Amino acid sequence: MAEQAGWQGERLTIGLLGGGTVGAAVARGLASRAEEWGIGIAGIAVRDLAKAQAAGLDRIAPLTTDPAALAASDDVDVVVELMGGLDPAMPIVEAALKAGRPVVTANKLLLATFGARLESLARSTDTALRFESAVAAGVPVIGVLARDMSANEITSIRGIINGTTNYILTKMESEGWSYDQALAEAQKIGYAEANPKSDVEGEDAAAKLVVLARLASGAWPALSHVQFDDAPGITGVTAAAIADAASRGARLRMIAEWQNGGDDASKDSLSVRVTEVPADSRLGTTVGGGNLILISGDLIGDLTLAGAGAGPGSTASGVLNDLLAIARGEGSSWGDLPAAIAAPAPAWIKAAKRGAK
């Protein structure tokens, strides 16, 4: 295997785990740039061989249904994990890092659940772990927090980081549809999964918020640290609520927010809630599947990042940029930030436990 210090001038070969819409976009993007970049694909691990063959992935690289074997192959320099979920993603990523094999992942649930453990392992083996596409797809918010705002104390992060729910809310506003009608349309066009729970109940946004909070605070919160409304995500939004907000010149948006609690990390707050925002604000005018993230720092003030936060092209852009970073020897997504710790339980959880006694 090539040395992690950088593959400049040498050919870099990846094992691509996942041949879905994002994996296929990454495979095609690499295939069109293979000679220019010197990055090839040793194999693509897929769930359904027939489906992958129908999509033409077998013409790009050999296919397999054994992702663990591909990731451990001596022919693989870097593992690109696009399967999602925790199993088998976690044991495969963990094994790769233990072996000193760099990993690129877009798996926000993996990072939000095991981020502290994976970061500790990557640091102990001096192995790159990159995850730009885990939040807002190709919008480079991870790099901005880790590198470009590292001189700042981040005071807050607030924004729309789930395109599916934003699309549904936008359709409810513009078409006067019910939540069920808008959800059905989102599923029809591929914005929402057949089981949309992770998106519409805010779980996806919460996982992304945990990743952002790690880079802003230097600690990995737990998913349980994120507060939700009684009706989580957008599941409690009605056409009447949309109209009521409009009557006040406002719109409803599902906002993920992290607030810096100061020297006491237990006072940091994380939440995912449907919130009224002015219709003419940056958040209010973010429509469809768009993402918008507002970052506040003590020196720079407010910074806004916006763009396509979902979709195969945008996500593939972030993954490919991570691969180029590894090829340049840039290391992990946290850059030169100090090692993170596990965040303490927030004050609201401690108060709830005291009240339950």
HEC secondary structure over 110-144: HHHHHHHHHHHHHHHCCCCEECHHHCCCCCCHHHH
Among all chains, which residue has been given the structure tokens 């010149």? 249
- Which helix H or strand E contains 251, and what residues bound it? strand 250-259
Q: How many C-beta atoms surround the C-beta of residue 262 within 10 A? A: 10
- What token pair was written down for 348? 């609201």
The CA distance from 350 to 101, in Å, is: 39
The CA distance from 142 to 115, in Å, is: 14
The CA distance from 140 to 242, in Å, is: 31
Residue 80 contacts residue 17 (beta carbons within 8 Å): yes
> Of 98, 208, 350, 357, which residue is the catalytic one?
208
- What token pair was written down for 219? 């600690």
- Which helix H or strand E contains 16, and what residues bound it? strand 12-17
Residue 136 contacts residue 162 (beta carbons within 8 Å): no
Q: What is the total residue count of the chain?
A: 357
* Beta bridge partners of residue 303, listed in sequence order: 295
The CA distance from 164 to 198, in Å, is: 10
* Beta bridge partners of residue 296, listed in sequence order: 156, 302
The CA distance from 302 to 298, in Å, is: 9
* Beta bridge partners of residue 226, listed in sequence order: 270
- What token pair was written down for 104? 């690129």
208: annotated active-site residue: yes
Residues belonging to the active site = 208
